[in-house]
Structure 1
Amino acid sequence: MFTPATSPPRLATLIGLTALAILTLNLFLPTLPQIAADLGADYALVNLSVAGYLALTALLQLVAGPLSDRFGRRPVMLIALACFCLASVGAALAESITVFLAWRVAQGSIIAGVALSRAIVRDMFAPQEAASKLGYISMIMAIAPMLGPILGGVVGEVFGWRGNFWIFAGFGAAMLWATWADLGETNAYKGRPMREQFRSYPELLRSRRFWGYALCLGFSVGAFYAFLGGAPLVATVVFDLSPAMQGLVIGFTTVGFFFGSFAAGRLGTRVPLTTMMLAGRLLAFGGMSLGLLVMLAGYVTVPVLLGSVVFVGLGNGLTLPSASAGVLSVRPELAGSASGLSGALMVGGGAVMTWATGLAVAAHPSAPLLLAMMLVSVVISLIAALWVIAVDRKMAAQAGA
């Protein structure tokens, strides 16, 4: 029971690590007003617990990946989980907004649960099988955002905002034990000196296939972040929806992603990575284009908006597992670095799309404008997918010659 693991982990352990990382982002969101009132802070300042967390996770992914390539996935994951547990207890006990924000941002260490889980899957499986496993893991990225705020709101009402951070600490401790007992080392290339790794990084960064996969990932997710950046204002100004209905509309985006991820899990072992990636991009492009045309024809309604967004979710569910498996396969010995860098690009691209869409919709509140901004991100991701396919065909032709 307490013997350190020496064999590869079960898929359930990787799913648990991913779920914890996703829940850490949104479980406590319904209690932000409670935190502001209890700690005597302005709401905008408390909101840094989200923005600061995202900023640190982007940076930590750049560090965690290379460290896991050098020292192994297991020790980096264990250290990240230990830091997360400590930070969760610190945030639960905080008596000032400064201390709270410091511990809250430190919780960002759990992003290793996402970045390294992807690298571990690639260590264990060939690209096709990895895409299938990543599809099932991605389903958690659909369920957790739906259930997290609901659970967090209930806990906040019964136990106060600190209850959510005690949940983080308990969940983190459980995953620390599970990682110790189940997650054996999977990195067969560990031990290479950092200097040797850095010499090989430019080859990864010069790879057109890496950037094609990474840009496809970043702007696929960017369409979802664009929706988050503009949907609340459009729902209020254009459709006059109540806060409860706004939450339902925003949460509805994950329905398509859930089913798309399930399909990726079922098809991943039989359908080529680039085919599934392109299918997801075409599905998102077709759905968004049709929705925008319907709105421009005068049918500006909530069902049209929801239908368009469902297609984005379906497309992302198909695209993300295959594109993730592809980006990790460019240089298998640098899978951790590739996972960290591509993850940072996803967060960064999402932040840019959120900011740009928020500015555009704030200046001209319009549902068609929101769909147009999302479509821009989808088109860029489609171009990136086509670029990867073109590069692969060129490399195949050269190898044949």
Structure 2
Amino acid sequence: MAVFASRPPKLTTLVLLTALSLLSLNMFLPSLPHMAQDFGTDYALVSFSIAGYLAITAFLQLIIGPLSDRYGRRPVILASLGIFVVASIACAIASDIWIFLAFRVLQGAVISGMALSRAVVRDTVGEREAASMLGHISMAMAIAPMLGPLFGGALDEIFGWRANFIAFAVLGSAILSLCWFDLGETNRAPTGSILQQFRMYPELLRSGPFWGYALCGMFSTGAFYAFLAGVPLVATTHFTMSPVVLGLCIGTITVGFFFGSFLSSRHAKNYSLATMMLVGRIVACAALLLGILSFAAGAEHAGFLFGSTAFVGIGNGLTMPSATAGALSVKPVLAGSASGLSGALTVFGGAALTTATGSVVTAGGVHALLGIMLFCSAAGLVCAFCVPKAANVLSLKS
């Protein structure tokens, strides 16, 4: 029988779980060329460790969420971290590229840390308080991707690429120990059986408010994916930026997201989820419109591009915590399933937008990049507007 926590886990534990999930994606990116050389294979095959990882994490979120609704958050998180540690050790000692890729895919189990941290938050507090706490967690989502490659590159430079995966094993073991002692069970109403859960699942899928929150989050993050896919080409061809300057400028959208998430952590308690989402979407759309108008008027300066996209980051930081809290609040007994489904939508949507952006920006340059980002932000705005209306038409019993 699960032992319920006498109090919620510390916020630090949830932040570290989320940070590890993100670090596992990008910390070893600087090592890809060395890995290809060491395995005696081409770069494209080694880079599958990124694409394949993203695909498996999207799929796993669809499974991890329902499992946590049925069996509890604690056992699923602990089991996932255990798999991650074993897979990291196997990656570190792999002598064959296919063995490496197989265990790299298994590392994707760590995505439970990000998906279920959100469910744990919603288990323990109301929706506005959840949005505030998720703002703090989102700040980790901004910092980890910035520092991860720097740390991974330093490990590679000093000890070689395998040190990254040894570091993953050490960090995973440390966080597994932390969760063992701090993360008690927070799912106090687990579904009675998988069959019972599947009977309730269609209620979530038929919920207009859920899709409003989830799609708002997907399109908001989609603007960020479009930025990452298109800005390197635009910056080098349109502005002739050096890689170093480009790297610094790319970080502006993440800094904006950090600041927006900080604002959410401070103010989400005082405003409705819909208000926070709408403000965030309006900030993003207004900034992108100003950027497009500036370039249309002949102001060909990189500052107008990165200035507008930095505000997209701020808008996302304001929107995402409330959109996530809303999606998890529609049917609290299925909070894990809602977190997994909304997370999978974000990954799949991001992959589609990344592919589309590469084609569109090649032909249209900076105007096309800002245009597709505006499309994503405006679509998120429409979804945010639909949430209150959908909630009035269709409400689900908790």
- Separation of aligned partners in 1, 2:149 and 2:250: 12
- Separation of aligned partners in 1, 2:136 and 2:7: 21
Partner residue, 2:335: 335
1:170-209 superposed matches below 5 A: 170-209=170-209
Q: Which runs of 5+ in 1 are unaligned?
A: none
Letter in 2 for 1:374: M
Q: TM-score, normalised by structure 1?
A: 0.96
Partner residue, 1:21: 21
Partner residue, 1:145: 145
Checking the alignment, whether the CA contact within 8 Å between 1:7 and 1:185 is kept in structure 2 is no
How many residues of Structure 1 are paired with residues of Structure 2 in the alignment? 394
- Separation of aligned partners in 1, 2:301 and 2:96: 44
- Separation of aligned partners in 1, 2:273 and 2:76: 29
Instruction: Please state whether the residue corresponding to 2:299 is helix, strand or coil.
Output: coil
* Pairing 1:351–2:351 present: yes
Partner residue, 1:225: 225
Deviations along 1:242-295, one digit per CA (max 9) or x if unpaired, are 222222122221010000000000001111111011100000010111111111
Deviations along 1:328-348, one digit per CA (max 9) or x if unpaired, are 000000000000000000111
Partner residue, 2:74: 74
- Separation of aligned partners in 2, 1:69 and 1:188: 10
Q: Which runs of 5+ in 2 are unaligned?
A: none
- Separation of aligned partners in 1, 2:128 and 2:209: 16
Partner residue, 2:278: 278
Checking the alignment, whether the CA contact within 8 Å between 1:6 and 1:185 is kept in structure 2 is no
Partner residue, 2:10: 10
- Separation of aligned partners in 1, 2:111 and 2:253: 22
* Pairing 1:379–2:378 present: yes
Letter in 1 for 2:230: G
Checking the alignment, whether the CA contact within 8 Å between 1:7 and 1:182 is kept in structure 2 is no
- Separation of aligned partners in 1, 2:9 and 2:252: 32
Partner residue, 1:168: 168
Checking the alignment, whether the CA contact within 8 Å between 2:19 and 2:144 is kept in structure 1 is yes
Partner residue, 1:83: 83
Letter in 1 for 2:179: T
Instruction: Please state whether the residue corresponding to 1:252 is helix, strand or coil.
Output: helix
Partner residue, 2:369: 370
Q: Which moved more, 1:308-317 or 1:294-303?
A: 294-303
**1:87/1:395 CA distance change after superposition, 3 Å:** closer
Q: TM-score, normalised by structure 2?
A: 0.96
- Separation of aligned partners in 1, 2:203 and 2:86: 37
Partner residue, 1:289: 289
Deviations along 1:102-154, one digit per CA (max 9) or x if unpaired, are 11111100000010000000000000100000000100011111111111111
Checking the alignment, whether the CA contact within 8 Å between 2:5 and 2:186 is kept in structure 1 is no
Instruction: Please state whether the residue corresponding to 1:269 is helix, strand or coil.
Output: helix
Deviation at 1:326, TM superposition (A): 0.3
Checking the alignment, whether the CA contact within 8 Å between 2:208 and 2:394 is kept in structure 1 is no
Partner residue, 1:304: 304
Cα RMSD over matched residues?
Answer: 1.5
Letter in 2 for 1:377: C
- Separation of aligned partners in 1, 2:253 and 2:157: 26
Checking the alignment, whether the CA contact within 8 Å between 1:300 and 1:367 is kept in structure 2 is no
- Separation of aligned partners in 1, 2:280 and 2:18: 22
Partner residue, 1:254: 254
Instruction: Please state whether the residue corresponding to 2:270 is helix, strand or coil.
Output: coil
- Separation of aligned partners in 2, 1:255 and 1:176: 29
Partner residue, 1:389: 388
- Separation of aligned partners in 1, 2:64 and 2:57: 10
